[in-house]
Amino acid sequence: MKWIKSVQELCLLVAASVSLFLFSACETTASGKPALPPPAAAQHQGAISDEIQPGETLTVELIDLGPETGKVFQQTVREDGTITLLYNENIKAAGLKKGELEEKIRNLYVPRYYKRMTVNIRREQLVFFVAGEVKRPDRYPYTAGLTVTKAISAAGDFTDYGKRTNVQIVRTNGKSETVNVKKALHGHHELDLPIYPGDTVVVKRRLF
């Protein structure tokens, strides 16, 4: 009898686990609309990427140039991943770590222009912005792998008046892109565009 009781308990445990799985798989918002993915932090996206990102602001200090005084540049990494320093030299920065970019800059100018040079780079805090019809419009820390749906989720999801079919992304270079988040949540993952540091996600208000 004890063996039969153990089998019954095991069956109950399995049934409860299956029910919990089915409930989670079918989860939607209270309005019946698909729930946005949890924010990047909840998905353990990790800390800010070690690699420099387009849209990120860098302070580049060049010192030990000999008789010249040091030079300081504040540059926003362009969409193509480059920054411009001395003598209008364009340097690919995106995808490199801080130390790698410092070494790349030094090798570019020494000994071509200078006998020696020390390069120091400071990375500004990486943030993005969410505005309009979301529950918590604000600035948020940027994490690697951020997309428009994750950005909206970080801001608490749409309000009841948020227009899901016409969400605007304003890039740091002033360009804007429009995303149909409703389609992105229904299998069109290619529409879930990446968000870069400094970008602003604007959720418009629907008319009805």
Identify whether residues 137 and 110 lie together within a single domain. Answer: no
Structurally, how many domains does the chain consist of? 2
Which residue range(s) make up the domain with 68?
57-123
First to last CA, the chain: 64
Q: Are 58 and 122 in contact (CB under 8 A)?
A: yes
The residue out of 123, 149, 179 marking a domain boundary is: 123
CB count in 10 Å sphere of residue 93:
26
DSSP letter assigned to residue 31? T
Strand partners, 176: 170
pTM of the model: 0.58
Q: Tell me, what's the pLDDT at 208?
A: 72
The pLDDT of residue 22 is above 50: no
The mean pLDDT value for 138-150 works out to 92
Identify whether residues 130 and 44 lie together within a single domain. Answer: yes
Average pLDDT over the chain reads 81
Q: Tell me, what's the pLDDT at 50?
A: 83
Question: Which residues 6+ apart lie within 8 Å of 137 measured at CB?
Answer: 130, 131, 155
DSSP-derived 3-state class of residue 86:
helix
Find the CATH number of the domain harbouring 95. 3.30.1950
Q: Tell me, what's the pLDDT at 143?
A: 85
